[in-house]
A and B are shown apart, each in its own frame.
Chain A
C-alpha cells in the first residue's frame, strides 16, 4: 500500500477558506467512506478533526468540514484562525484491516 498524496503546504489569510486535498486509489480513499483527518501541532498529540469523510467529533469547530469525490478527499477549513496553523494528515481504511496515511500538509495562516 502506498501513502496517500497531500500537497506539502497550504496557506490563507485569517477569515479565508483553505482546502487540503488527499489523493489515493480505488483501494483506499475511493473504495471506502472511512477517510479521517488529523491536526498536529509539533510536540503535541495529533487530534482527530474529521472521520467517515464528513463527520466531526464533539468539540471540533464547524469551520472544519470534509468531502470526497472519487479517489480524492478534501479537508476544508473556513474562517481561518491563527490557531489553525498546524500540520494536517489524512488517513483512509485500505481494506483487510489495513490503514494508510498521507504525507501531511503544513497549513500556514498568513
Chain B
C-alpha cells in the first residue's frame, strides 16, 4: 500500500525558509501516471493547493505563492520536497503531501500523508 510521510522542522522563524520533504513508500515516485503535490491547511481554514511536480522535474505552482515556492524531486531517494521562502505567520499551517492522478483518478489527490504542522514564530 502506498504511503507518504512528511518530515521537517515544526518551527520556523519569520522571514526564513520553510523546508519539508515527503518520502514515498510502497510505490514508485517515477510512475508516469501521477504527479506529486503539496497542499496546506492554515488553522481553522480550508485546504490550499501549493504546487505539484512530475517525476521528470516539471513543476506547477499556485500563482499566489509562485514567487516564494520551489518544489523538487529526488527519484533515487523516492522523495519530493517543498521550500517556501520569506515566511510569515500566515504560512503557519498543516502541510500535506499527496499523489495526484493523471490517468486513473484523473486530477484528484488519491493518497495523502498524515500532515506536518509548521508554525512560523520567533
Could you tell me which A residues sit within 8 Å of B by CB distance?
A: 1, 3, 6, 32, 34, 36, 38, 44-48, 51-52, 55, 57, 89, 91, 93, 97-104
| B74 interface hit (Cβ, 8 Å) | no
Is B47's CB under 8 angstroms from A98's CB? no
Give A93 to B52 CA distance when docked, in angstroms: 12
A34 to B100, CA, bound (A): 12
Find B46's partner among A52, A55, A57, A101 (CB 8 Å cutoff).
A101
**Contacts A46-B109, A48-B111 supplied; 16 other A-B pairs, CB < 8 Å:** A1-B62, A32-B107, A34-B107, A36-B108, A38-B47, A38-B109, A46-B112, A48-B108, A52-B108, A57-B105, A89-B47, A91-B108, A97-B52, A98-B63, A101-B39, A102-B47
Q: How far is the CA of A4 from the CA of B99 in the complex (A)?
A: 21
| Cβ-closest chain A residue relative to B45 | A103
What is the CA–CA distance of A44 and B46 in the complex, to the nearest angstrom?
15
Evaluate contact between A99 and B49: CB separation under 8 angstroms. Answer: yes
- 10 shortest interchain CB distances as A-B pairs: A51-B108, A103-B46, A36-B108, A97-B60, A101-B47, A34-B107, A45-B112, A99-B49, A93-B107, A104-B46
Contacts of B63 in A (CB 8 A): 1, 98
- Per the bound structure, the CA–CA distance linking A32 and B108 in Å amounts to 13
CB-based nearest B residue for A2: B64
Beta-carbon contact of B106 and A52 below 8 Å: yes
Do B113 and A99 touch across chains, with their CB atoms under 8 A apart? no
- Please give, as numbers and ranges, the residues of chain B lying within 8 Å of A89 by CB-CB distance: 46-47
The contact sample of 26 A-B pairs, CB cut-off 8 A, is: A1-B62, A1-B63, A34-B108, A36-B107, A44-B114, A45-B114, A46-B96, A46-B98, A47-B112, A48-B109, A51-B106, A51-B107, A51-B110, A52-B105, A52-B107, A52-B108, A57-B110, A91-B49, A97-B52, A97-B60, A98-B49, A98-B63, A99-B49, A99-B100, A102-B46, A104-B46
